[in-house]
Amino acid sequence: MMKHEEIYISVPRGGLLTGQDDIAVSEEWNYWAMVIQDKGRYYYWARGVSLEINPMDVVKVLQHPFLTTDSMAFKLHQQIDILLNLSGVRKAKIKKYE
């Protein structure tokens, strides 16, 4: 049986990042994500990408869904960025050879 929980991932508000800051209001840095449990395995889905994660990562991202340098949410955000960038490079190469 599959279970899931939606969470809102965002940069922390206040301090140096005010509501006027581009990062504080951008969709790239503030988005809905989902943690999924399916047949004893755990996944993190965000921005069209799914990553398999361990149960401890689930706890960390649910407890602290902010994109700060020490958070699990930020580490997963970086992994997704890498995968999206690689996907873009592959698409560009395929178009070049068509």
Per-position b or e across 60-72, b if 16+ CB within 10 A of its CB: bbeeebebeeebb
How much is the pLDDT for 92?
56
Which range of residues forms the domain containing residue 50? 3-97
3-state secondary structure at position 51: strand
How much is the pLDDT for 80?
94
Kindly report, residue by residue over 39-98, the tens digit of the pLDDT.
999 999 999 999 999 999 999 999 999 998 899 999 999 999 999 988 776 555 555 555
CA 47 to chain centre: 7
How much is the pLDDT for 2?
87
Which structure tokens are listed for 31? 């988005």
Domain count, the chain: 1
How much is the pLDDT for 7?
93
How much is the pLDDT for 63?
95
Q: How many residues does the chain have?
A: 98
